[in-house]
Each structure stands twice: as structure tokens, then as C-alpha cells.
Amino acid sequence: MHDVISLRTRDADHSGSSSIEGTLQVRLDAGGEAVTASMAYRLSGRSGLPLVLVLGGLNSNRAIEQWWPEQLGPKGPLDSRRYRLLSVDWACPQGRPERTLLTQDHAQALEVLLKRHDIARLHLLCGASYGAMVALALAERGQLAIRRLLTISGAHYSHPVATAARYLQREVVRLGAMAGFPTAGLNIARGLAMNSYRTRELFSERFPQADAAERLDSIQSYLSHVGNDFAARFSVERFLDLSESLDLHQVNPQGIDCPATVVAVDSDQLVPLSQMQALAGSLAGPTDFHCLQSPYGHDAFLKAHQAIAHVLNQCLEEKQHATA
């Protein structure tokens, strides 16, 4: 059962439109044991506009302009003058719970948040990467009227290869913490993750140096930079919780009957094309399928700006797609 503890809101100004930011505290029980968690959020745009729930990857937060700026604002599909936009920070457990927050837990928190704002219908439920997994969990629960679900590079379960890679990343982080070097563990784990996010072709293009020593130095500098940036924003506990949540994710596509659009990337090593095709073929409702060609692999939803904008516009404007 949901138990809302407190809700704090404040008016804000975001991209020229009225906005509400707040923090929801709630009891979540999808994992069989109740956990108290908080979820910060932002709700932008006038009340009465069609509601779009926007969920990104592990690094995303309620500030869409920080991680998806090309899709936001008057020049992008996600315009708060036309749509009411809801975005969140992933639910954060309070204290040191004994279990991981599942994608279903995040879905529960979203349901409570939407109910508190008297929202029962979503014009578009948009999720990418981890956000796509949470979006699928939310759709499977069937508590909301969802006009269209858009899932980008996020499937109904974690692919075994992705799970194996993340398990090793977590072990590195745990060893770093045990040795007294938590930041170093997070740094290395992020570097390992980058090898699965991006393609071989992209690495070859980024590091074309003919001299081996120069190439090694460039790669070390790059991975150190992205690792340090990641470690500055994540604690060990936060990383372990979200990483394991990815691997414990599982929904039944046949239990999702709202209209859906499934977007795969041909070069995605974490969520391969075959897995996204299987998802599209198993959903119970009418489903459209797109395969994007991009060298950016799993990060294509952040880098293939025009292709993603085209799909978003189609979903928002109810245009027809090719059926999977």
C-alpha cells in the first residue's frame, strides 16, 4: 500500500513556462518489503495541456534541459507551451534498505505523484534506456490511461550480456569501497560502461592516433574524465542500487495493451536489435517499430537528435507508423 509521508512544492520558472518542483516521500513495496523513498520532480506547463512523462537513463534527472536539451523547448518536440511535461529524479531509498528498488517501485512512486496532481491520463509515456524499463513497468501495472507508450533502447528484461557487464562493474565498485577508494571504483566502473555504450567504430573515430603511446594517453584521459564526472554525481550505494535494479527488471509484454512505439538502434550492444524486436512482437496492444541506424550504440537516444525528434513528433502528433 502507498503511504505518502509529505509533499513539498514550490513555484519556479523553467523555459518561460510556469513550473512546479517538489519532493515526494512514499512507501514502496514492489519488492515484497516496504521501503521509504523520496522522488524529486518537476512539472512544467499549464494545467490542462496534454501530459507527457519523460524518463531517461540512469544519469537523467528532472532537469530535462541537462540531458536531452535538443528535444526540449520551442525548437524541440517537448515544448512546455504545447504539452505539460513531468520529469523526475529516480526514487532514492532512505537509510540503508536491505533490498534494491525495482523498476516497479519507481512505477509505484510515479503513480502516487500523478495521483497527487490529479493526473489519470498520459498523452505520451516516453522512456529511454532505464527510463524505458520503468515506463514498461508503469504500463504493465495498468493504473493509468496511456494514449501512447514510447520505449527507446529499453526492453522487458536485461539482456544476459548486459547483466554480466554490470555485475562486474558492481564488483569493481564494491572492491573500491572495501579498499577505501570508493571514487576510484566508480571511475573504473564508468569506464567499463562506456565500452558497452559506444561502438568500436566510434572509438576508432575518436582515437585515430597512429602512435600507440599517444593513443593510450588519449583513451586514458577520456575515460578518466568521464569516470570522474560520474563519480562526482553518484555515491557507491546509489550506483549499486540503480545498477542492480536494471538487472532485476522484468515485465510481461503481453500484459501491456496500450498503443506503443518501440525504438531500437542497430548498433546497440546493451539492448540489441533482436531483443527490441522481440519486445515489439510481444506487446498486447497495437505496436509500431523503428530501427535507427547510428554509430552511437546505446547512447543514440542522446546523440541521434534528428531521428529521435522525428519519432517523438510522430508519437505526440498521433501520426501513423509502420506496424511491427
Query: ∠ at Cα 215 (214, 218), nearest 5°?
Result: 85
Long-range contacts of 117-120 (CB under 8 A, 24+ apart): 117/43, 119/51, 119/86, 120/144, 120/145
- Helix or strand run (H / E) with residue 43: strand 35-44
3-state DSSP assignment of residue 2? coil
Question: Which residues lie below 8 Å from residue 214, measured CB to CB, with a gap of 6+?
Answer: none
Q: Which of 105, 268, 288, 299 is catalytic?
A: 268
Q: How far apart are CA 274 and CA 48, in angstroms?
A: 39
Q: What is the DSSP letter of 59?
A: T
> Is 266 annotated as catalytic?
no
Q: What does the DSSP assignment read for 261-323? A: EEEEETT-SSS-HHHHHHHHHH-SS-EEEEEE--TTGGGHHHH-HHHHHHHHHHHHHT----B
CA distance from start to end of the chain: 37
Choose, from 44, 80, 129, 245, the residue flagged as catalytic: 129
Catalytic annotation present for 105: no
Partners of residue 261 on adjacent β-strands: 150, 288
CB neighbourhood size of 147 (10 A): 17
Q: Annotated catalytic, 129?
A: yes
The residues assigned a catalytic role are 129, 268, 298
